[in-house]
Amino acid sequence: MNQRTLLITLTGPDRPGVTSRLFSVLSGFPVVVADVEQVVIRGRLILGVLVAYAGGPPTGTGSTIGGLWTAVEKVAADLDMDLEITTGTSAKEKRRRGRLHVTVLGAPLLPAAMAGIAGRIAASGANIDRIERLSNYPVTCIELAVSGADPQALRAELAAEAAAQQVDVAVQRSGLYRRAKRLIVMDVDSTLIQNEVIELLARHAGCLDEVARVTDEAMRGELDFAESLVRRVALLEGLSEEVFEKVAKEVVLTPGARTLVRTLKRLDYRFAIVSGGFTQITDYLVADLGIDYSAANTLEVVDGRLTGRVIGEIVDRPGKARALERFAAESGIPLSQTVAIGDGANDLDMLARAGLGIAFNAKPVVRQAADTAVNVPYLDSILYLLGISREEVEAADAEDGMPPALT
């Protein structure tokens, strides 16, 4: 039998008891709750309740639904709120194809960007079911629940709009698929930290310009990473091993790095770093941040000085992907539940292998290949892609007695 539905929308000043009052009235009628949404924006409440019932149209105040209609109108009048009631018919609420989360990041986020994104969603035949703000500083993050869309097609459309509007947009499947990512594997140089460690070492060795030139070629994918590493490390021959402690003090974390790691560890995520850099520096980061797994190259030291060689297998582009697989196996986490984050060409295999690959302030070739790109300079913005809001992060910090973080 077909069911009739009533969508009841109350709008007005927020105050205690509005939701309770409405549902108390509804409890006196033969209806079932099909859906509820409530949002408060700057003290103004919008409450929508969808109820379903069997029977004909709600005409006449003597009918059961006519009585409900009158009762709800009285609630709205008593509370001095605006009321809208709309009717419909549905045999069953249909599951819409392609339920997705669309995350929009901007600093600032302008109305034109939201207009362009909403327009592309509408043009694809999809519907925006819900909009929620996850953060308003240091970046604005808006999340849209979208139904009726093909993920790949919508991702391509919104990527083009994001580039035009200079914002970041991520498209992910909703539900358990999105919430199940439990291992984060991150590149180090120019991702977790703002530096390139080999350039810090090269400055102490007096060969910075030459090393930087080779680094740029490798990051653009113009030079094999293993070859470039051998060439650059050779220039460090003769440096005292005391340089490691000096360089560790020069390393600068990317804004939001501590917040990102701290928050994910609270949620029982495993956190790993994988680097084409060197264990002599990544070991400091592991100890400082409480990182679970790490992989990096090791510089050979003999009699207290660098020999200009690397010990063991080089961690290069394929090596980073193998490290991701190894960390996932050690933690008992499927690859589909992993997130990889990187910025350079030798991160590409790792990004492709992970359940979600994120290009963070990356080179163009990496942005094009990754599932999504984040171009704002705050690493903790990645939390929003996982559905974690700024308010939730700050609330957890407050419970632990920590001062509010800027990022």
Active site residue ranges = 187, 189
The residues that bridge with 10 in the sheet, in sequence order, are: 47, 83
**Residue 175 CB neighbour total at 10 angstroms:** 11
Supply the DSSP symbol for 377. S
Cα dihedral value 205, 342, 386, 149, nearest 10: 160
The residues that bridge with 278 in the sheet, in sequence order, are: 297
DSSP H/E element including 307: strand 305-311
Residue 220 tokens read as 């653009």
DSSP H/E element including 235: none
Q: Report the distance separating Cα 263 and Cα 354, nearest Å.
A: 21
Burial class (CB in 10 A: 0-12, 13-18, 19+), 199: middle
Q: Which of 175, 288, 358, 316 is nearest to 232 (CA)?
A: 316
Q: Report the distance separating Cα 265 and Cα 290, nearest Å.
A: 9
Residue 165 tokens read as 């509007």
